[in-house]
Structure 1
């Protein structure tokens, strides 16, 4: 089985999402935003923090989770290379807000919490964001960024595309009438 070309996989996913993802312009056109935070860098602690956020979104089950796919490194790369200054600030402020609010609400650091505690907290944040969006209020954009980056990074990683999805190297056999059995994994292209 040959290696997956991540750039082509990213383009496919962004096109399927209708180009709605933050930073989609860079992926589709190759043109990086001009107004970015100069010298933006993420520490190894930041990457570990983003890995744990990703793992709470896509946990390890019978397939490896987002942490195994190196989601923190992917998030950092996407934020540095594809987000403009305003989006970068929103993302960084969101990470800091999540860390601060989690400790205030749960009583411990995010990194010392259990996966269940992290997942429950992120699910509640997501529920509130959806509620706010549906009522016409502005929702915290960083929640959507974290989810988008986790899903995009995971399913375009080798782990996500070959272990969570079914992958057949293309060009492969075209079969327009494949049977679907409940529980089958989706196809990666």
Structure 2
């Protein structure tokens, strides 16, 4: 699957433009890293792996955690995101944990898979509402201040997009979740499809 097609697919699945997509197409590491200490901690990466596993759990194929998507997220946020999105993403880890405490009276790492899923579903609704209102809020701010840099994207949208991008570009995602041929043979213009078949990598 080509990078451009994958970005379109992720944007379609998450209901918005792929955040950091331009950097992915032109090359990352554009020198705008503002993250404290220039890295995510191991605990934060473990946390992101658990979030990604809730989004794409192990079923008949390995889940996102098996692909170490948390590590992938940390690299992508550092190298491909704008400063306000970097900050929103890093703060989003704490916000997600606090939202879990509010909903389930304990942190994300301690709740059951079902509780994790119910939390992420509520955050997805919140994120979609925020992303829809964002252009209007930005326009209002720019009327007051022409130099307004724009609002960051919602942290959960970023986490979900990076989970899908990281998983479906990983070895586990390409070879186990998708149909994969390492070296394609002859061209076949019409391939029979049966309901439930995996997409092609």
- Note whether the superposition's TM-score is higher than 0.5: yes
Cα gap change, 1:128 to 1:87, in 2 (>3 Å): closer
Q: Residues 112-145 of structure 1, C-alpha deviation per residue, up to 9 Å, x if partnerless?
A: 1111110111012112333455577779611110
37-46 vs 79-88, which deviates more? Answer: 37-46
Question: By percentage of residues, which structure has more helix?
Answer: 2
- Quote the residue 1:13 is aligned against: 6
Paired positions, count: 181
Q: Kindly report the root-mean-square deviation, in angstroms, between the aligned alpha carbons of the 2 structures.
A: 2.5
- Please list every run of 5 or more consecutive structure 2 residues that lacks an aligned counterpart in the other structure: 138-151
Q: State the alpha-carbon separation in 2 of the partners of residues 20 and 131 from structure 1.
A: 15
Contact 1:35 1:85 in 2 (8 A): yes
TM-score by length of 2: 0.80
Within a 5 Å distance, the mapping from 1:1-189 to structure 2 comes to 10=3, 12-14=5-7, 20-30=17-27, 32-37=29-34, 39-133=37-131, 141-188=154-201
The runs of at least 4 consecutive aligned structure 1 residues that moved more than 4 Å come to 8-12, 15-19, 131-140
Task: Quote the offset at 1:150 in angstroms.
Answer: 0.3
More moved, 94-103 vs 60-69:
94-103
Kept in 2, the 8 Å contact 1:164–1:185? The answer is yes
The answer (yes or no) to whether the contact 1:10–1:152 under 8 Å persists in 2 is no
CA distance in 2, matches of 1:132, 1:20: 14
Alpha-carbon contact 1:34-1:84 (below 8 Å) kept: no
Is the 1:36–1:85 Cα contact (8 Å) retained in structure 2?
yes
Q: Deviation at 1:101? A: 1.5
Alpha-carbon distance, 1:171 to partner: 3.6
Measure, in 1, the Cα distance between the counterparts of 2:183 and 2:5.
14
Q: Quick one: structure 1 residues 132 and 31, their matched pair in 2 at CA, closer, same or farther if it must change by over 3 Å?
A: closer
Structure 1 residues 34 and 97: alpha-carbon distance in aligned structure 2, compared to 1, 3 A threshold: same
Residues 72-93 of structure 1, C-alpha deviations (whole Å, 9 max, x = no match): 0000010111112111001011
Cα deviations by residue, 1:131-171 (Å, 9 ceiling, x for unpaired) = 45557777961111011000000000000000000001244
With the length of structure 1 as denominator, give the TM-score of the two structures. Answer: 0.85
